[in-house]
Structure 1
Amino acid sequence: MSPDAVVRRSCLSVPASDQGKVDKAAGLGADEIVFDLEDSVVAEAKEQGRAVLAARLPNLVRSGRTVAVRVNPVGTSWCHQEVLSLTGDAAPASFVLPKASCPGDVAFLDRLLSGIEAAGGSDRSVGIQVLIESPDALHRVDELAAASPRVQSLILGYADLGSALGISYRDLDVWLPVQHAVLLAARRHGLQAIDGPHLAYTDDAGQSAANQRARELGFDGKWVIHPRQVAYVNQVFTPTDDELRRARTIEAAMEAAERGGTGAVAVDGEMIDPAVVLGARRTLARAAAAEAT
Structure 2
Amino acid sequence: MRSKLFVPGSRPELFDKALAGEADALSFDLEDAVAEPRKAEARQTLGRFLHEAGAAAAAAGKTLIVRVNGLDTPHIEADLQAVAQPGVQLINLPKPESADDVRRAVALLQAAEQANGVTEPIGLLLNIETPRALRLAAELAGADARVRGLQLGLGDLFEPLGISRRDDLAVRQVMLAVRLAAGEAGCWACDSAFADIADTAGFQAEAAVARGLGYIGKSCIHPRQVALANEAFRPGDDDIAHALRVVQAADRAEADGVGAWVVDGRMVDAPFLARARATVQAARRLGLLPATA
TM-score > 0.5 by shorter chain: yes
Residue among 163, 168, 179 paired with 1:167: 163
Q: Mark the CA change 1:135 to 1:251 in structure 2 (over 3 Å): closer, same or farther.
A: same
Letter in 1 for 2:236: T
Letter in 2 for 1:222: K
Structure 1 length-normalised TM: 0.88
Counterpart CA distance in 2 for 1:266 and 1:120 is: 53
1:92-113 deviations in Å (ceiling 9; x for gaps): 1010000111111111111223
1:162-194 deviations in Å (ceiling 9; x for gaps): 113211222222222211110110111111111
Q: Which runs of 5 or more residues in structure 2 are unaligned?
A: 289-293
Counterpart CA distance in 2 for 1:283 and 1:149 is: 25
Q: Which runs of 5 or more residues in structure 1 are unaligned?
A: 1-7
Q: Mark the CA change 1:111 to 1:203 in structure 2 (over 3 Å): closer, same or farther.
A: same
Counterpart CA distance in 1 for 2:105 and 2:32 is: 19
Report whether the alignment pairs 1:271 with 2:264: no
Aligned residue for 2:73, secondary structure, equals: coil
Q: Mark the CA change 1:239 to 1:84 in structure 2 (over 3 Å): closer, same or farther.
A: same
**Residue equivalent to 1:38:** 31
**Residue equivalent to 1:238:** 234
**Residue equivalent to 2:245:** 249
Aligned residue for 1:199, secondary structure, equals: coil
Residue among 91, 95, 102 paired with 1:95: 91
1:116-195 equivalence runs, <5 A: 116-118=112-114, 122-195=118-191
Residue among 46, 49, 62 paired with 1:53: 46
Is the 2:9–2:34 Cα contact (8 Å) retained in structure 1? Answer: yes
**Residue equivalent to 1:79:** 76
Is the 1:84–1:116 Cα contact (8 Å) retained in structure 2? Answer: yes
Counterpart CA distance in 2 for 1:20 and 1:255 is: 52
1:208-243 deviations in Å (ceiling 9; x for gaps): 221122122222211010000000111011011111
Is the 1:237–1:286 Cα contact (8 Å) retained in structure 2? Answer: no
Counterpart CA distance in 2 for 1:266 and 1:104 is: 46
Identity of aligned residues (%): 35
Deviation at 1:60, TM superposition (A): 3.1
Is the 2:31–2:68 Cα contact (8 Å) retained in structure 1? Answer: yes
**Residue equivalent to 1:70:** 67
Deviation at 1:286, TM superposition (A): 3.4
Counterpart CA distance in 1 for 2:257 and 2:122 is: 36
Q: Mark the CA change 1:121 to 1:203 in structure 2 (over 3 Å): closer, same or farther.
A: closer
Counterpart CA distance in 2 for 1:161 and 1:69 is: 21
Deviation at 1:119, TM superposition (A): 5.7
1:19-47 deviations in Å (ceiling 9; x for gaps): 11112111221111100000000111111
Is the 1:135–1:165 Cα contact (8 Å) retained in structure 2? Answer: no
More relative contact order, 1 or 2 (CA 8 Å, 6+ apart): 1
Counterpart CA distance in 1 for 2:32 and 2:220 is: 14
Give the number of aligned pairs: 282
Residue among 97, 104, 108 paired with 2:104: 108
Is the 2:84–2:118 Cα contact (8 Å) retained in structure 1? Answer: no
Is the 1:197–1:223 Cα contact (8 Å) retained in structure 2? Answer: yes
Letter in 1 for 2:38: A
